[in-house]
Amino acid sequence: MITRRTMALGLAANAANRVGARAAAAPFAWPGGARAAVSLTYDDSLDSQLDHGIAQISASGFKATFFLTRENMDARLADWIAVSRLGGHEFGNHTVSHPCGLQPYTASSYARRELMPMQAYMDLHFGQNPKRVFAYPCSETDLGPGDANQKFHTFETTLKRVGLAAARTSDEDSPMTPAYARARPYWLRASATTYDVDDPGLAMRYVEGAMARGLWAILVFHDIVPTRTQAGETSMASHKLVLDWLKVKDVWCAPMGAVLDHIRAAPA
Ligand SMILES: [Zn+2]
């Protein structure tokens, strides 16, 4: 899906992808010779992730990235800390209250009310992390005045200022070349493949597209439920099918920060 924002930033993205295309003759070296990297990300610190998702993720052996929103998790904080003690999972900042419309905010008020308190909360309960990643609530990247590019620049600058190392959208865009991710770490692309339709085949096709070209695919999940009743929910059956399918595919499945570290350590 081409959105207004991705169109506005298309030139830079295309330039980065052309760098990746030139490198296609020598495929990027993912760990273990894998054909693609896959990051499983879970947004909004929802109870259903604790109640249904974690057990399936643990059974798969994969390590995931959880984007936490404080107002959704305070009541279950002890359970989230228990997840962190499983080891290997990554915890990202997804703000205090998950605002979608950012018109009421300036860069400094957004940092003061949504970013910095969440950083402090995560430092306290999950340990300090200078490489902590961020996910834009509602994939909203417009912050402050100006056109879409200026607003995104303001957002990116604000994230850097509070110590966030990278950021993920969820605009249903295609998987990324390593060159793109290196060039645009605050516009990492992802797809919530099961948000509108609870079809595990959509996630599989998204990852197959990455495998065909040696790319990085980030999948976004929200609620993981026994039976889907509304948009945004992924049934446990679909979730398990995706995880089981990934297990037998030649992909490197790792949290976002680990994939970024690998990309940044590789020769440009
Ligand atoms: Zn969210």
CA distance 182 to 245: 28
Q: Is residue 207 in some structural domain?
A: yes
- Residue 191: inside a domain, yes or no? yes
For residue 139, the CA-to-ligand 1 centroid distance in Å is 8
Distance 60 CA to ligand 1 centre (A): 24
Q: Name the residue range of residue 254's domain.
A: 49-265
Task: State the DSSP code for 117.
Answer: H
Q: What is the pTM (predicted TM-score) of this model?
A: 0.90
pLDDT digits 0-9 by tens, 158-210: 999 999 999 999 987 899 999 999 999 999 999 999 888 999 999 999 999 99
Distance 204 CA to ligand 1 centre (A): 22
Structurally, the chain folds into a number of domains equal to 1
Compute the distance from residue 69 Cα to the ligand 1 centre, in Å.
Answer: 8
In this structure, is residue 127 part of a structural domain?
Answer: yes
How far apart CA 26 and CA 125 sit, in angstroms, is 43
Residue 97 lies in a domain: yes
Angle, alpha carbons 100-104-106 (nearest 5°): 105
Q: Ligand 1 center to residue 58 CA distance, Å?
A: 22
Q: Indicate whether 150 belongs to any domain.
A: yes
Cα(29) to ligand 1 centroid in Å equals 31
Q: What is the pLDDT of residues 57-116, one digit of tens each?
A: 999 999 999 999 999 999 999 999 999 999 999 999 999 999 999 999 999 999 999 999
Residues with CB in 5 Å of ion ligand 1 = 43-44, 137
Q: Tell me if 199 sits within 8 A of 15, measured CB to CB.
A: no
Place of tokens 């798969």: 60
42 within a domain of the structure (yes/no): no
Residue 17 domain flag: no
Strands (E), 79-138: 90-93, 133-135
**C-alpha span between 66 and 46 (Å, rounded):** 10
CATH of the domain at 185: 3.20.20.370
Q: Can you tell me the distance from the alpha carbon of 148 to that of 169, in angstroms, rounded to the nearest whole number? A: 14
- Name the strand (E) or helix (H) holding 210: helix 200-213
